[in-house]
Structure 1
Amino acid sequence: MSARYAIVAATFYRDLADRLIAGAQAAFAEAEGPLAADGPADVFEVPGAFELPLAAKYLAETGRYDGVACVGAVIRGETDHYDYVCGEAARGIQDVQLSTGVPAAFGVLTVDSMDQALARSGGDKRDSGRHAADAVLALQRIRRSLAGA
């Protein structure tokens, strides 16, 4: 039986979210074989990075998914909002995987500019969507090896 994965995407920056989703989907497809008609991972959307942890928790708790890649972008502005959103999104996603045992990867760009975000959102070695999926897959391999599967 093949594994099933989910991607939760913060869509505040829609173009970046689409690029990050594509990178994660590509990594999951490569790991799981031919691309199914509906894609190798189910995609769920939330408005922003702050909502990623709760969505990831909902998905992890269903028992349907072997891992959740959380992707999105937070671009620094003129206020402290950036620091709160980044820190709480990271902490929340970590809490999900520690409390549920389901790998939940942090693929959220935390950058100073749109140029930095574009450089890290696909197409080359700095593809944070792909890296989030790769992290989920690595943790799943460890989990399987420990279970003797």
Structure 2
Amino acid sequence: MSAAGNRVVTVVVGAVIGIVYGAVATIGHRHELRIGDAVVPWGLAVAIVGVAALLVGMRLVIDRWSSAAAAAGVIAVVALLTLPGVGGTILIAGDIRGTVWAVTPAVVGVLVVAWPSLPPRRDRGVGAGAQHAVTGGADA
């Protein structure tokens, strides 16, 4: 397969992964833990950390385009599931938790995709090891 074909496949797979994760995280973002009067929205925290991990991981391992496609998939599903369903049910309520979930994946996606690429790392160990071997173990 050509390089362009590989890129298309990785972008499509990234979008599908984003769509699936966006749907699962949207369903799970409402989970909470009640300790007395305190409410811990652990579902929202896990959903946001998961989106960030998914996008950063794809950006680091694959490329910017697949990460952008995954972000677009997550954002599209969150936007779609914000609308009321056929029976009038909603998955993303209009409260603070729903608003945070509706906005945060887009913000995380923009930050991850727009972050500048880092220059490739140079292996400093090769040069130092070669110098050490040439000098017979004595540091120059």
Larger RCO (CA within 8 A; separation ≥ 6): 1
- The answer to whether TM tops 0.5 is no
The structure richer in strand per residue is 1
Give TM-score scaled by structure 2 length.
0.38
Structure with greater helix share of residues? 2
Which structure has the bigger radius of gyration?
A: 2
